[in-house]
Structure 1
Amino acid sequence: MNHASEAAASETPLLFGRIFDGRGGARAIGWDKAQDWQPAEPSEVLWLHICRNREGVQHWLEADLGVPEPTAELLTSDLTRPRAFREGDALVGTLRGINFNPGAQPEDMISMQFWCDGRRLVTLRRHPLQTPREVLALLDRGDGPSDAGAAITLLAELLIARMGHSIVGMNEILDDLEHDDPEENAERMLGQISTIRRNCLSLKRHMAPQHEALEQISRDAPAWFEDHDRREIAESIARLRRYLDDIDISKESALVLQDEIRARSLASSEHATYMLTIVAGIFLPLGFLTGLLGINVGGMPGMDDPDAFWAVVALCTLLFVVLIVVFRRLRWL
């Protein structure tokens, strides 16, 4: 799409539009021409990618596409739990992908709704999503999907693949943490592990319903959703299951590593406390003896004897040695 078309599209809900040629390529189409579009060839499919929070989208869905009002509300609402269902000859669904926009966290998810009757595919989003642009780039190179079913399966596959990249990234961080020194970096490591555990919980919460949505597509899609599309969806479902298992493994690994770091920190603290207790046990009798001999009252023995100081030093040394021997026999040292 040229700059003039992009500028025109920015004034309408349309982000971009393409007409599939049935051979992996596509040509651009603007918002105005898309309103009364009819396929010139049996293999043509219209794809419109729309910003759903712009004005007039719900009315356009109802008036121009004949989408029932509850479905149009679903396609434009912020209730974006992944789901899919068949409505007559149309397939309706909501999928989620990782938010890779600047400043976003990996566990932040972006939803993409879609509606398709086999001839017209409408995808809707609120925040920028990279996956539709990837499919657009493939179409513009002539390597894209040839029909609506292939487009839906490719979009789902790319959304799931991006989730996989995020999971791999978390596992790499866990691998690095396992080789880090918990005694020097315990606080930083615990912070990173807590973040990974939160990410795992968030991804699991969003990806589990997406698994159900893909199964619903595979099971209930209309006839225009061909057998090879169902096989591709089945592959995406299998991959998503593996990712869900990987999330569980990452979560458990993070928990084990967190417990290990805390156990080491606790053991180090207990050892330090133990050593302080031993030192106190050794010097407490010595402190008592020197304190007793240091009271400033009359009648203290040795006050007039110049050798009394060395006698006290010898007594303290002997007491120190006796305490060390006793502690060793008690296996306190």
Structure 2
Amino acid sequence: MERHDTEAGTPLLFARVLDGAGGGRPIDWAGVQDWQPANTDEVLWLHLCRDREGVYDWLQEVMAIPEPTAELLTSNETRPRAFREGNTLVATLRGINFNPGAEPEDMVSMQLWSDGKRLITLRRQPLQTPRDTLAEIDRGRGPGDAGALITSLTEHMIARMNQSIVDMNAHIDECEAADLDEEADETLDKITTIRRNCLALKRHMGPQHAAFEMISRDAPGWFEDHDRREMAETIDRLRRYLDDIDISKESAVVLMDELRARAVASSDRTNYILTIVAAIFLPLGFLTGLLGINVGGIPGVNDGDAFWIVVALCLAILVAQLVFFWKWKWL
């Protein structure tokens, strides 16, 4: 869970000035306002909470970001996209929601703006991806410039997506190993959830793939060749994960089909048994019903042995039916 590194009442979650060598120093909200790079290697990274009061105005007035772009950076329009605006890069990306009580398909959006010397990331809900990159910077092994910072954020975002896919595959393996006859309802609920998660991830990650490709292809010149190669690796990894999602979805479909087939087979078996029982007792029921009608003239009424004769006749009919059913392979 994210915490505030600076004074309360500001939209700043944390800020670092990258030194170009993998490290960075903290900077507070007041220092951000008039920050200028002390040398060519320094890059300012701000991570903001976009729904805090005054963020929109600050982006326009202090950062001189055009109004439409400022609206995009602070809006709840979270469909992944990326575009170049002069010498700046603007993007909306989505990460897996690992917050308590959230489902994997509940994605968390992160807006991004950079001019090569300053990088601003904004989120509404807590997102662990920026914290992963921040930890690398604080250990002195983080990105050295804005391009590397963007690639680091995208790599961590996709890595966490992989963990969600691994978890889904583990649940599928559990369902395949379970007794489908005894745990059918529980297994069906799990498979339904997995399919819903797969569809949601595919729906969100497809546009994200296109956004990454745009960054790799059309980013400004400060996004260097090695950054583009790193982004290409991230795109390739995302493509493999999308393929894994398709495989997970197909595995879930196969399990659901097997459960449905078992349910249909069980129903057919039950109907078959009931049909056989009905076929066996139909002639017996007809005979006993005929002899049980309340009219005069029924033979054997006064004969003490008539009851046993009828019982023997019924048994003979039953045996004959069983023999014929066995011969016809109905049993």
Under a length normalisation based on structure 1, what TM-score does the superposition of the two structures give? 0.96
Question: Number of aligned pairs?
Answer: 329
Shift of residue 263, structure 1, vs aligned partner? 0.8
Shift of residue 249, structure 1, vs aligned partner? 1.2
Q: Please give the secondary structure, in 2, of the residue aligned with 1:6.
A: coil
Let me know the Cα RMSD of the aligned residues. Answer: 1.3
Counting only pairs closer than 5 Å after superposition, residues 213-292 of structure 1 correspond to structure 2 as 213-292=211-290
Q: Please give the secondary structure, in 1, of the residue aligned with 2:60.
A: helix
Query: Alpha-carbon deviations, 1:167-202, whole Å to 9, x = none?
Result: 111111111111222221222222211111111111
Shift of residue 70, structure 1, vs aligned partner? 0.7
1:311 partnered with 2:309:
yes
- Equivalent in 203, 206, 209 of residue 201 of structure 2: 203
Shift of residue 294, structure 1, vs aligned partner? 2.5
**Match in the other structure for 1:19:** 17
| Distance in structure 2 (CA, Å) of the matches to 1:303 and 1:180 | 61
Task: Tell me whether 187-196 or 317-326 shows the greater mean CA deviation.
Answer: 187-196
| Distance in structure 2 (CA, Å) of the matches to 1:176 and 1:12 | 46
Q: Please give the secondary structure, in 1, of the residue aligned with 2:39.
A: coil
Counterpart AA for 2:208: Q
- Equivalent in 87, 97, 100 of residue 99 of structure 1: 97
- Asked whether the equivalents of residues 60 and 70 of structure 2 are also in contact (C-alpha less than 8 Å), the reply is yes
| Distance in structure 2 (CA, Å) of the matches to 1:47 and 1:215 | 23
Shift of residue 222, structure 1, vs aligned partner? 1.2
1:328 partnered with 2:330:
no
Query: Alpha-carbon deviations, 1:239-269, whole Å to 9, x = none?
Result: 0000111111111111111111101110111
| Distance in structure 2 (CA, Å) of the matches to 1:208 and 1:170 | 18
- Asked whether the equivalents of residues 6 and 28 of structure 2 are also in contact (C-alpha less than 8 Å), the reply is no
Query: Alpha-carbon deviations, 1:116-168, whole Å to 9, x = none?
Result: 11111100001110111111111111111111111100100111111111111
- Equivalent in 28, 31, 43 of residue 30 of structure 1: 28
Shift of residue 7, structure 1, vs aligned partner? 5.4
Task: Tell me whether 283-292 or 214-223 shows the greater mean CA deviation.
Answer: 283-292
Structure 1: runs of 5 or more not aligned: none
| Distance in structure 1 (CA, Å) of the matches to 2:209 and 2:294 | 84
- Asked whether the equivalents of residues 88 and 116 of structure 2 are also in contact (C-alpha less than 8 Å), the reply is yes
Under a length normalisation based on structure 2, what TM-score does the superposition of the two structures give? 0.96
Counting only pairs closer than 5 Å after superposition, residues 52-131 of structure 1 correspond to structure 2 as 52-131=50-129
- Asked whether the equivalents of residues 55 and 74 of structure 2 are also in contact (C-alpha less than 8 Å), the reply is yes
Shift of residue 48, structure 1, vs aligned partner? 0.5
- Equivalent in 154, 157, 160 of residue 158 of structure 2: 160
| Distance in structure 2 (CA, Å) of the matches to 1:205 and 1:276 | 47
Q: Please give the secondary structure, in 1, of the residue aligned with 2:113.
A: strand
Q: Please give the secondary structure, in 1, of the residue aligned with 2:5.
A: helix
Structure 2: runs of 5 or more not aligned: none
| Distance in structure 2 (CA, Å) of the matches to 1:294 and 1:285 | 14
Counterpart AA for 2:51: N
Identical positions, percent? 67
- Equivalent in 296, 299, 310 of residue 298 of structure 1: 296
Shift of residue 291, structure 1, vs aligned partner? 2.0
| Distance in structure 2 (CA, Å) of the matches to 1:307 and 1:286 | 19
Counterpart AA for 2:194: I
Task: Tell me whether 178-187 or 166-175 shows the greater mean CA deviation.
Answer: 178-187
| Distance in structure 2 (CA, Å) of the matches to 1:6 and 1:234 | 33
**Match in the other structure for 1:174:** 172
Q: Please give the secondary structure, in 2, of the residue aligned with 1:208.
A: helix
